[in-house]
């Protein structure tokens, strides 16, 4: 299982709220672009998936 970012679902017009809940600091964002998952850091806890209101972060 890995976290996947569906860019098309991310409106890319705000600071990604999922970054604040990630316990491993595995999410990064340049400006308001869709976040990027550092798969080396990510532990697949799924917290970000629950926080994203657009469903742009999924487990795949
Ligand atoms: S699954 Fe957990 S560790 Fe991985 S990016 Fe999401 S919140 Fe961070």
- What is the per-residue pLDDT for 16? 96
Structure confidence by residue, pLDDT tens digits, 6-53: 999 999 999 999 999 999 999 999 999 999 999 999 999 999 999 999
**Structural domain harbouring 8:** 3-59
46 lines ligand 1 (CB under 6 A): yes
19 lines ligand 1 (CB under 6 A): no
pTM: 0.83
- What is the per-residue pLDDT for 60? 78
Query: Which of 41, 35, 44, 45 lies closest to 10 in space, CA to CA?
Result: 35
30-43 per-residue burial string, b: 16 or more CB within 10 A, e: under 16: eeeebbebeeeebe
Residue 1 pLDDT exceeds 90? no
> Distance, CA 6 to ligand 1 centroid (Å)?
15
Contact assessment for residue 29 and residue 5, using Cβ atoms and an 8 Å cutoff: no
- What is the per-residue pLDDT for 2? 81
Q: Whose CA is nearest to atom 7 of ligand 1?
A: 22
27 lines ligand 1 (CB under 6 A): yes
CATH of the domain at 28: 3.30.70.20
Q: How many domains does the chain have?
A: 1
- What is the per-residue pLDDT for 28? 96
């Amino acid at each position: 299982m890995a976290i996947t970012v569906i860019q098309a679902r991310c409106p890319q017009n705000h600071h990604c709220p999922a970054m604040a809940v990630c316990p491993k600091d595995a999410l990064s964002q340049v400006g308001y672009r869709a976040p990027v998952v550092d798969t080396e850091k990510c532990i697949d806890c799924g917290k970000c998936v629950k926080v994203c209101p657009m469903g742009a972060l999924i487990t795949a």
